[in-house]
Amino acid sequence: MQITTPSFKDNARRALGDSDLRRALDNMKTGFVGKRLLAVERLPEFDALRDDARDIKEHVLENLDAYLERFEARVKEQGGQVHWCRDADEARRVMLEICRDAGARTVTKSKSMIGEEIAINEHLEANGIEPVETDLGEYIIQLRREPPSHIIAPAIHLSKEQVADAFRQKHGQFPGDRPLDEPRALVDEARAVLRQRYFDADVGITGANMLVAETGSVVIVTNEGNADLTMTLPPVHIVLASIEKVVPTLEDAATILRVLARSATGQEMSVYTTFCTGPRRSGDADGPEAFHVVLLDNGRSALLGGEFHDILRCIRCGACLNHCPVYSAIGGHAYGWVYPGPMGAVLTPGLIGLEQAADLPNATTFCGKCEEVCPMRIPLPKMMRYWRDREFEARLTPTLSRLGLAAWTFLALRPALYRVATGLVIGILGALGRNRGRFRRLPLAGGWTAARDLPAPQGRTFMRLWAQRRRGRP
């Protein structure tokens, strides 16, 4: 996947001008946000569950190596294999090898953000293997050859008309004049196309919402059941998961599931919650003959114990995106890589480097809504500020901002000088703006006045007026 994060500002500008996108994002807000609120109100112990969920993940992160090894041992006991991969390259290599060994020509895939992170589809295609996305949203964006714009709703940026267009273009097997106005018709058509692809696939690749150390199970939730078909029909199942997905017990998994769907879509549970453990055993009705877990680090272990440690608790529910005023304005593509919104603003610089992602931790108002809704109580604004600290230290902050800041600090630390200097400027601006009370334009204030008038100051500073009052002069 091509990284366009460095051109965040241009991406955002383009997104703001896209009326289809704006409409789609409006729908998202009324959908996800409203439903989450209702779900939370129906569960009085929701906040207590959030604490439990946070504590579980925190405990895991402190003992990550032990739980991962326990998970590996359980998977092996059940006849599965675990592949430890340091980075995207290694993971791609391992997965291609497994596919080649299976003689794979097509693989089905259920939605996986880690798959996006390592760009597995591109890699398989380049090596003559066709990946077929089976999550409806993922399938649509695969047809359109674009990246997901949301971590749980990859095609949220599209209208149903745009989806219908894509289907007409790519599904040549159906009559050109078929009606595709209703969402139902779109779903039925996708289902008809995908049905055969499930049976044809040689390998099924899924992500994982959690890995359970106690049993070696993989937990996957979907609303379409596509992951179940992806993992049970082909002879080989590859689970692609990052290392922080592990939890100690089934009980812990259940606790996290209780906050996950509520935070994500406002559902009490996702429609399908599947625990799969190892390959098919004798006597099993179905299931793959081979079961592989690809465990990816890709920069995560370097975040452990540091300033960005807490982001490793993230369960990818998407609540912080849904509630973010910036994400709601520009959508996910503007962020330029796999993870958008507040969690992306924290995670992306850690994974692709701060230089490339320098805008992301700055493009937030620090409104704090993300932290308020995060089921894992991740202090997202605080970590965005940590990134800003690093940018400042590394002199990535734009020169003009640095100079302005230095001048302001210089004055702020010298109250007497500050009074004189600010008094002067404020006096002039106050006089100039006295009649209208505002400025439409002002030198050096272009950033402000592009979209709004600049209210004029009242003319004299409080400190000066206060001093006069103390001396008994009006």
Q: Is 315 in the site for ligand SF4 (CB under 6 A)?
A: yes
Q: What are the two backbone dihedrals, phi and then psi, of residue 313, each rounded to the nearest 5 degrees?
A: -80, -10
Q: Is 317 in the site for ligand SF4 (CB under 6 A)?
A: yes
Residue 222 to residue 40: CA distance in whole angstroms: 20
Token code pair at residue 37: 């609120």
Residue 235 Cβ vs another protein, minimum distance, rounded to whole Å: 49
Of 98-106, 159-167, 374-382, 425-433: span binding ligand SF4 (CB under 6 A): 374-382
Q: Is 218 in the site for ligand SF4 (CB under 6 A)?
A: no
Q: Is 261 in the site for ligand SF4 (CB under 6 A)?
A: no
Residue 87 Cβ vs ligand SF4, minimum distance, rounded to whole Å: 22
Measured at the alpha carbon of residue 299, what is the angle toward residues 111 and 222, in degrees to the nearest 5?
15
Q: Is 40 in the site for ligand SF4 (CB under 6 A)?
A: no
Which residue do the tokens 């704090």 mark?
A: 368
List b or e across 441-473, with b for residues whose CB sees 16 or more CB atoms inside 10 angstroms: ebeeeeeebeeeeeebbeeebeeeeeeeeeeee
Amino acid of residue 464: R
* Total number of residues that touch ligand SF4 (CB under 6 A): 13
Choose among 158, 150, 157, 155: nearest CA to 323.
150
Binder of residue 63, out of another protein, ligand SF4, none (CB less than 5 to 8 A by kind): none
Contact status, residue 143 vs residue 308, Cβ threshold 8 Å: no
Q: Is 324 in the site for ligand SF4 (CB under 6 A)?
A: no
List residues binding another protein (CB under 8 A). Answer: 9, 12-13, 16, 325-326, 329-330, 362-369, 371-372, 385, 387-393, 397, 401, 405-406, 408-409, 411-413, 415, 418, 422, 426, 433-438, 440, 445, 447-448, 450-458, 460-463, 465-466
Choose among 201, 2, 9, 7: nearest CA to 116.
2
The only residue of 39, 378, 383, 456 in contact with ligand SF4, by rule CB under 6 A: 378
Residue 381 to residue 361: CA distance in whole angstroms: 9
Residue 394 Cβ vs ligand SF4, minimum distance, rounded to whole Å: 25
Binder of residue 368, out of another protein, ligand SF4, none (CB less than 5 to 8 A by kind): another protein
Q: Is 318 in the site for ligand SF4 (CB under 6 A)?
A: yes
DSSP state of 445: -
The only residue of 319, 326, 358, 384 in contact with ligand SF4, by rule CB under 6 A: 319
Contact status, residue 195 vs residue 202, Cβ threshold 8 Å: no
Q: Is 124 in the site for ligand SF4 (CB under 6 A)?
A: no
Binder of residue 390, out of another protein, ligand SF4, none (CB less than 5 to 8 A by kind): another protein
Spell out the long-range contacts of 322-326 with Cβ–Cβ below 8 A and sequence spacing 24 or more: 322/28, 322/29, 322/32, 322/33, 322/36, 322/373, 323/33, 323/369, 323/370, 323/372, 323/373, 324/364, 324/369, 324/370, 325/365, 325/367, 325/369, 326/363, 326/364, 326/365
Q: Is 349 in the site for ligand SF4 (CB under 6 A)?
A: no
Q: Between 205 and 383, name the residue whose CB sits nearer to ligand SF4.
A: 383
Q: Is 85 in the site for ligand SF4 (CB under 6 A)?
A: no
Q: Between 85 and 373, name the residue whose CB sits nearer to ligand SF4.
A: 373
List residues near ligand SF4 by CB under 6 A.
Answer: 263, 314-320, 343, 374-376, 378
